[in-house]
């Protein structure tokens, strides 16, 4: 995995160079966006609702014992914003979209479609990697905002309906509003954008470096997802440290 | 894009060596192809023909030696971009996510060489040339092997290339279409003086269109020259390869 870092940085660099071509490739970017939305919205919704719910369920009774139920909105709100929505959505997208990117580019590599592009003087980075990376970097933060909102809602539903917690919607959302600043949202979005680049980069890199026929495609997909998730979790720690530092 | 003003390019391989995973596949290939020549490469399966073609168009980098296009190393920055090159892959290598029309017109649309209507017209014209009509909207997965090959040839023709490499253009094709393709290779060669390198197992095609023929065996060229000269080459492997037919024991082809 680590010998690939250099190659991935090269890929990032070359994609960054191709960024001015984004407008030309806008149709492919839209296609990708559509695919990402299509593949992940429903799942994101479900996942986020239950994450918010379980957060409230885990923390609610403990807070209630100590008479601190009016903090529950804040806890769910902050955790969703700063940590859970970015991390969980990134993993969802790594599994859903990263895998399909790796599979698609992998099969194009194995079946010589990439070679064919190169003989036609079409740069695979501009034609394939750029639209994917741009689309995912845009889609993931949007998905995270969506996930945060749904997660809050999940937390609210559980906080209100669970008999051990049993606070009002009003109480929950008041606490949430008091506890959360715009900076928390920005924090989460910043993280998710970084995760998106990681997923896109790892998946495209794995796809383009697929060797060994159809079997290699499967290997690339597995590696793309596993490596993305590992990198996301490691990066998450360091980004959190960095952002905490900046907050102060 | 001005097809009439165009010229083929010359190509030279100089001591090209390549090995994959310790297996030496190309063992010092040396030859030159002149502008506008039809150069046919034959040889047993696995002798390294496809690998050689990939080197000739710059897709692979040789371990040793070099490929010169118009006298300049093909891997020097900017050299390949200067010429229009095309390759018909053995497998067709069509983009599976694009329709036939988009595949054939890809070069023109990506490089913005014509407005969409003109591209559609050119695409239909080239498809008709390879005997395909009304399949513009199909996906490659809906085509037969021979149809894919022909679409791939059409895609190469659209480029109006200065150098075109065909990797077994007539395998998978019925004899009638094969003859048409052979004629088209020649016609293109005469019309725009494209340099053509054709890998084929089809001896009729080879001797029908070649200016020169090279015979490859286990990564080496064992014969090279005009068709008559190669036919008369006393090298036993050459004779065995050229004369193999069904009455022979097939094993005698690859000793
Ligand atoms: N990417 C690769 N990795 C490892 N070995 C390879 C690779 N490409 C080709 N080879 C090996 O190189 C040798 C020559 O292959 P090549 O495809 O050039 O044969 P060919 O002459 O085109 O045969 P055919 O007529 O069957 O198409 C084969 O032994 C093949 O196993
Ligand atoms: Mg071959």
Q: Is the pLDDT of residue B152 over 80?
A: yes
Q: Is residue A107 predicted with pLDDT exceeding 90?
A: yes
What is the reported pLDDT for B1? 43
What pLDDT band is residue B2 in, cutting at 50, 70 and 90? very low
Which residues 6+ apart lie within 8 Å of A83 measured at CB?
A: A188, A236, A240
* 3-state SS assignment for residue A248: coil
Q: Which of B171, B190, B210 lies at the terminal end of a domain, its last residue? A: B210
pTM of the model: 0.89
Q: The domain spanning residue B178 has which CATH number?
A: 3.40.50.300
Q: Sort out which chain A residues have CB atoms less than 8 A from B59's CB and list them.
A: 115, 118-119
For tokens 């080496």, the residue is: B220
Are B167 and B101 in a shared domain? Answer: yes
The torsion angle over the Cα atoms of residues B102, B105, B108 and B112, rounded to 10 degrees, is: -30
B248 has a pLDDT exceeding 70: no
Residues B189 and B125 in one domain: yes
Q: Which residues contact B86 (CB under 8 A, 6 or more apart)?
A: A119, A120, B155, B156, B157, B159, B161, B163, B164, B165
Q: Which residues in chain B are contacts of A107 at CB distance < 8 A?
A: 96
Model ipTM over 0.90: no
Which pLDDT does position A8 carry in this prediction? Answer: 92
Residue A1: pLDDT band by 50, 70, 90 thresholds? low
**CB-CB under 8 Å, A116 with B94:** yes
Residue B251 within a domain: no
pLDDT digits (tens, 9 = 90+) for A18-38: 999 899 889 999 999 999 999
Chain A closest-CA separation from residue B190 CA (Å): 22
Residues B75 and B18 in one domain: yes
Q: Is residue B132, in this structure, part of any structural domain at all? A: yes
Q: Which residues surround ligand 2, an ion (CB under 5 A)?
A: B 50, 90
Residue B38 domain flag: no
| pLDDT mean across residues, chain B | 89
DSSP A33-86: HHHHHHHHHHHHHHHHHHHHHHHHHHHHHHHHHTT-GGGHHHHHHHHIIIIIHH
Q: How many domains does chain B have?
A: 2
Nearest CA in chain B to A107: B96
Q: Which of B236, B210, B211 is nearest to B222 (CA)?
A: B236
């Amino acid at each position: 995995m680590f010998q690939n870092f250099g190659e991935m940085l090269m890929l990032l660099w070359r994609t960054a160079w191709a960024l001015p071509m984004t407008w030309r490739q806008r149709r492919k970017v839209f296609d990708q966006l559509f695919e990402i939305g299509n593949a992940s919205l429903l799942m994101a919704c479900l996942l986020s609702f239950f994450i918010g719910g379980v957060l409230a369920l885990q923390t609610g009774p403990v807070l209630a014992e100590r008479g601190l139920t009016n903090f529950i909105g804040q806890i769910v709100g902050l955790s969703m914003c700063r940590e859970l929505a970015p991390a969980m959505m990134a993993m969802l997208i790594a599994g859903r979209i990263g895998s399909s990117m790796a599979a698609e580019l992998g099969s194009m590599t194995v079946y010589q479609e990439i070679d064919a592009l190169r003989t036609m003087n079409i740069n695979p980075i501009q034609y394939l990697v750029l639209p994917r990376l741009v689309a995912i970097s845009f889609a993931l933060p949007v998905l995270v905002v969506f996930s945060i909102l749904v997660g809050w809602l999940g937390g609210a539903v559980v906080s209100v309906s669970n008999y051990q917690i049993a606070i009002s919607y009003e109480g929950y959302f008041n606490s949430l509003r008091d506890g959360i600043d715009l900076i928390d949202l920005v924090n989460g979005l910043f993280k998710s954008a970084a995760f998106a680049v990681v997923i896109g980069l790892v998946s495209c890199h794995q796809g383009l470096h697929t060797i060994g026929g159809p079997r290699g495609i499967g290997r690339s997909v597995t590696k793309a997802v596993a490596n993305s998730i590992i990198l996301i979790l490691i990066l998450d720690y360091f980004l959190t440290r960095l952002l905490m530092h900046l907050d102060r | 894009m001005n097809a009439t003003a165009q010229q083929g390019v010359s190509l030279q391989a100089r001591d090209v060596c390549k090995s994959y995973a310790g297996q030496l596949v190309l063992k010092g290939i040396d030859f030159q192809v002149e502008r506008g020549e039809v150069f046919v490469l034959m040889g047993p399966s696995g002798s390294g023909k496809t690998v050689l073609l990939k080197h000739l168009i710059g897709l692979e980098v040789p371990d040793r030696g070099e490929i010169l296009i118009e006298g300049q190393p093909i891997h020097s920055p900017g050299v390949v971009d200067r010429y229009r090159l095309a390759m018909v892959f053995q497998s067709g290598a069509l983009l599976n996510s694009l329709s036939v029309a988009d595949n054939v017109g890809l070069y023109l649309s990506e490089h913005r060489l014509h407005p969409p209507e003109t591209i559609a017209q050119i695409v239909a014209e080239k498809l008709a040339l390879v005997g395909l009509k009304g399949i513009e909207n199909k996906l490659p997965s809906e085509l037969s092997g021979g149809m894919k090959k022909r679409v791939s040839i059409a895609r190469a023709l659209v480029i109006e290339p200065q150098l075109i490499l065909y990797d077994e253009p007539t395998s998978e094709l019925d004899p009638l279409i094969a003859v048409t393709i052979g004629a088209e290779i020649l016609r293109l060669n005469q019309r725009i003086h494209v340099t053509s390198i054709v890998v084929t197992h089809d001896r009729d095609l080879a001797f029908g269109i070649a200016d020169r023929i090279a015979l490859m065996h286990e990564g080496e060229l064992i014969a090279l020259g005009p068709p008559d000269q190669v036919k008369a080459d006393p090298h036993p492997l050459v004779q065995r390869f050229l004369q193999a037919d069904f009455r022979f024991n097939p094993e005698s082809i690859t000793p």
